Structure 1
Amino acid sequence: MSNVTDAATRLCEAVRMLRHLATNLPEPIHIGLLNASDGPSVVSGAGVAAIQQTVSQAFARIGVQQLEYCRESTQQLSSFELFISRKISAALNFDYQPPASAEQQQAQQAIIEHFEFDAQIPGIARSSLITRDGVLLNTYASANRRLTPLVLVLPCGLPFELCREWFLALGERYFVMTWETRGLFGACIDFDRLVVDATAQTADLFAIMEHFGHESAHVMGICGGAAIALYAAAKHDDRVRSLSLWHGDYNLDDDSLRTAHQRNFEWLMEAAASDRSEARDLQALFVDQATLVTTPEPIAHVALFPYVNVELFYRYSRVNDALNKTNINTLLSGIDVPTLVVAGDSDQTTHIGGSRHIAQSVEGARLHIEKNGSHLAFFEHSTRSCAAAFEFMDSLLEPALT
């Protein structure tokens, strides 16, 4: 019995992890039940049909109603469908034998029916707010509101799950608040009328503070979120207690301070932001399975999110293009808060030289270079990196509320 129920639980956990991709892909979604070598399973018959039904039931719980199963070849699968297929197949241990008895089948069904696909994460409270310009934002807060407040600015346009471990680690010492980028999460019917520039995104940062009852807080920005954090400190230094910039993606008007990835990303965002027709043509490139070769597998379930359909990709491009056009150099002289700048010596995503430039240009800023540090290492080793964040903020000697 335990093998059957364990497999059902793993299946549900995989579907929950994949929900950002699956719920935004055009239906029907094509899925292959694969073998360990990434090829289609050679098992056929009633057993596979029963497993397919079980997988379909799990996806139906997150609102995905139309799945089509590919038995012959995986070549017809999109990059997103292939990634989903790999995760589902691995969750089932590449074993497609159905439950051996009616009792086992009932136990399996019970797990799928009662699994909490949208469960609250212990220690994290989800809520929402409406901004002054009428935008719905998904918000997240840690449990202990008596601790010193900290706003975490996520990488622009990516789901909260990408930084969940960081959020939890920070929440042990600080009251952490964050939100997901305007226009890409939750209801947003009229995106074309939405303001998405740095000013609007900075206003969202302060709306989060106010939503949780704070006029000021420490601010930590990650990747593109570092640009928003900088903008906030430059415009409202009385509300930013300190600034922590991690692996920042900055427009410094100097290509020598940008990696090839940054230059390519800037071009892609500008081109796709021009109109939906151009976005449609460019989004088609990410449907190719080769996309998975350059996407780190541990974070692919969230990193691929903005590319799964044309509308999301267009919105993601609009938001990021606006940030890319914000010249950070014009802000640096206005930063007058304690600042920590962090970069990795192995990062191929954002240029270490950009972080060095920021640290040299902001008076009193501290530069911390993580050995073997990179974007992926940042997300995978939150506990190790958090030590540097805590050391910096603790050095400011700000006590928690009593």
Structure 2
Amino acid sequence: MPTSTAVGAVPDTGSLSALARALLDTASLTRVMPERVRVAPVEPFPGDGTSSAQALLDRLTGALGLPEVEMVPEPGPLSAAELAVSRRLALRPPDSAADEDQLEDVARQVLTAFPGRPIVVPAYDGSPLRCWAAGPEDAPAVAVVSACGMPVGLASNWLAALSSSYRVVTWESRGLFAGDDGSGLSELVGHSLDVQGDDLLAVLDGFGIPRAHAMGLCGGAAIALAATARSDRITSMSLWHGDYELGDEAPKTAHQRDVESLLAMVARGRQQAAGMHRLMSRPATLEALRQDIAHYLIHPYATSELLYRYGLLNGAIMSTDCRPLLTAGQPTLVVTSAKDTTAHPAGSEFIAAHLPRAELRSMPEGDHLTAFDAGSELVDLAREFLRDVTTEDRKGT
């Protein structure tokens, strides 16, 4: 990095590339917010630091093809979503300069870094699905089915952990993410659990994958079940801290009950969603979110339209009875933890007991969100199971 006169702000690391990565990492929010997102520094800038920082941000967002953000001196007026973006950017007083060639080089490197740019695949009803793929094309395939409404960044640790040995694909929920071209949100054509299960199969079609292991996390576990019940192209499953509707067969946590009630209310109409969105835009909302991933977790609550659509999509996941889906005979690993206070472990225990070829692993540590962290113990467990269930796939390659 050059050390000449300062022209802009940098995050904690002092790296222009770190700032570029943070801007790209928060793009799901800046692309979908109806007005330019405001961001505040970690602490007030001295002198004309704010204007210098704005100049660098404008140049960097332009090079990355992202919406501009607006610097403000302090976080006081910001919404919860804007605060989440600000904390991810971690802007500090300007202390470095970047010439245009360097800035363009950094932008190119960041845009092509793992997991890369999305590939748009059409769902069966024509809805555009933002998808990613990593790993050898001739390796056994793993479809990572993430939680509804979560940006790809939340699942990227799993993509990185598995893509050395497997062809790993994933996608973002239909209708909840704006395109890179500035076109905004696409129409939400369908939202049922079956439709979302079909999206998994459409993603496989888009990448020319005939069969795959489905790895479902949180509500993605129910989507994986729905796809597996409808198609033998899913040859095996792993279901991690799944969120299931099982009637009276398993209790739900207070969190599950509260979220299900919230989603039912906002799904009634855009007016109800707008009222709830005003409440959830307050900065206090961030207090309940894990700070290092808050910019992902807050995405489906960032606008009233997103919240309405999230009520339809995740509401369908959380309210559709999964018991009729438990006839699939594919080998399945079911993972939970007694310390999960988000999705009740009893749901996973019921699933494992009633799927014909399932095994249950209850981990001694780890809450709901650590399933997305892809820690070494969980990765080892996933790889061990995948080696067992993909042996035939490997023999055929």
Alpha-carbon distance change, 317 to 77 in structure 1, aligned in 2, over 3 angstroms: same
Q: Is the 8 A contact 1:120 1:126 kept in 2?
A: no
Matches within 5 A, 1:368-387: 368-387=361-380
CA distance in 2, matches of 1:190, 1:16: 20
Q: Is the 8 A contact 2:53 2:94 kept in 1?
A: yes
Alpha-carbon distance change, 188 to 205 in structure 1, aligned in 2, over 3 angstroms: farther
TM norm structure 1:
0.86
CA distance in 2, matches of 1:273, 1:345: 31
Question: Does 1:320 pair with 2:317?
Answer: no
Q: Secondary structure at the residue paired with 1:257?
A: coil
Alpha-carbon distance change, 50 to 189 in structure 1, aligned in 2, over 3 angstroms: closer
Q: Secondary structure at the residue paired with 2:111?
A: coil
Q: Secondary structure at the residue paired with 1:221?
A: strand
What is the aligned partner in structure 1 of residue 29 from structure 2? Answer: 21
What is the aligned partner in structure 1 of residue 107 from structure 2? Answer: 116
Q: Deviation of residue 336 (structure 1)? A: 1.3
AA aligned opposite 2:141? P
Alpha-carbon distance change, 211 to 26 in structure 1, aligned in 2, over 3 angstroms: closer
Which stretch shows the higher mean deviation, 20-29 or 334-343? 20-29
AA aligned opposite 1:84? V
Question: Does 1:232 pair with 2:234?
Answer: no
Matches within 5 A, 1:1-400: 2=2, 6-35=14-43, 41=44, 43-61=45-63, 62-65=65-68, 67-71=70-74, 74-88=75-89, 90=90, 92=91, 94=92, 96-97=93-94, 105=97, 107-116=98-107, 119-122=111-114, 126-185=118-177, 186=179, 191=187, 194-236=189-231, 238-254=232-248, 257-332=251-326, 334-396=327-389, 397-400=391-394
Q: Is the 8 A contact 2:336 2:345 kept in 1?
A: yes
Alpha-carbon distance change, 364 to 130 in structure 1, aligned in 2, over 3 angstroms: closer
CA distance in 2, matches of 1:337, 1:66: 47
Identity of aligned residues (%): 33
Q: Is the 8 A contact 1:152 1:178 kept in 2?
A: yes
Q: Is the 8 A contact 1:31 1:85 kept in 2?
A: yes
Q: Is the 8 A contact 2:39 2:82 kept in 1?
A: yes
Alpha-carbon distance change, 132 to 377 in structure 1, aligned in 2, over 3 angstroms: closer
Q: Is the 8 A contact 1:255 1:263 kept in 2?
A: no
Q: Secondary structure at the residue paired with 1:151?
A: strand
CA distance in 2, matches of 1:223, 1:18: 22
* Partner deviation per Cα, 1:85-125 (whole Å, 9 max, x = no partner): 3333x3x4x3x2565xxxxx4x3554444432761334767
AA aligned opposite 1:388? L
Q: Deviation of residue 279 (structure 1)? A: 0.6
Which stretch shows the higher mean deviation, 1-10 or 373-382? 1-10
Q: Is the 8 A contact 2:241 2:368 kept in 1?
A: yes
Alpha-carbon distance change, 263 to 64 in structure 1, aligned in 2, over 3 angstroms: same
Q: Is the 8 A contact 1:150 1:217 kept in 2?
A: yes
* Partner deviation per Cα, 1:198-257 (whole Å, 9 max, x = no partner): 121121111122222233221111111100111122222x22211111110101113952
Q: Is the 8 A contact 1:234 1:331 kept in 2?
A: yes
Q: Secondary structure at the residue paired with 1:254?
A: helix
Q: Secondary structure at the residue paired with 1:327?
A: coil
AA aligned opposite 2:328? I
Q: Is the 8 A contact 1:259 1:350 kept in 2?
A: yes
Which stretch shows the higher mean deviation, 374-383 or 348-357? 374-383
TM norm structure 2:
0.87
Alpha-carbon distance change, 219 to 293 in structure 1, aligned in 2, over 3 angstroms: same
AA aligned opposite 1:128? V
CA distance in 2, matches of 1:177, 1:34: 36
CA distance in 2, matches of 1:273, 1:123: 32
AA aligned opposite 1:81? E
CA distance in 2, matches of 1:13, 1:142: 19
Q: Secondary structure at the residue paired with 2:41?
A: coil
CA distance in 2, matches of 1:220, 1:28: 36
Q: Deviation of residue 266 (structure 1)? A: 0.6
Q: Which has the larger radius of gyration?
A: 1
Alpha-carbon distance change, 380 to 123 in structure 1, aligned in 2, over 3 angstroms: closer
Which stretch shows the higher mean deviation, 110-119 or 307-316? 110-119
Q: Deviation of residue 178 (structure 1)? A: 1.9
Q: Deviation of residue 66 (structure 1)? A: 5.5
What is the aligned partner in structure 2 of residue 38 from structure 1? Answer: none
Which stretch shows the higher mean deviation, 56-65 or 225-234? 56-65
Alpha-carbon distance change, 47 to 138 in structure 1, aligned in 2, over 3 angstroms: closer
CA distance in 1, matches of 2:249, 2:259: 13
Alpha-carbon distance change, 371 to 131 in structure 1, aligned in 2, over 3 angstroms: same
Number of equivalent positions: 381
Q: Secondary structure at the residue paired with 1:172?
A: coil
CA distance in 1, matches of 2:362, 2:69: 47
AA aligned opposite 2:382? A
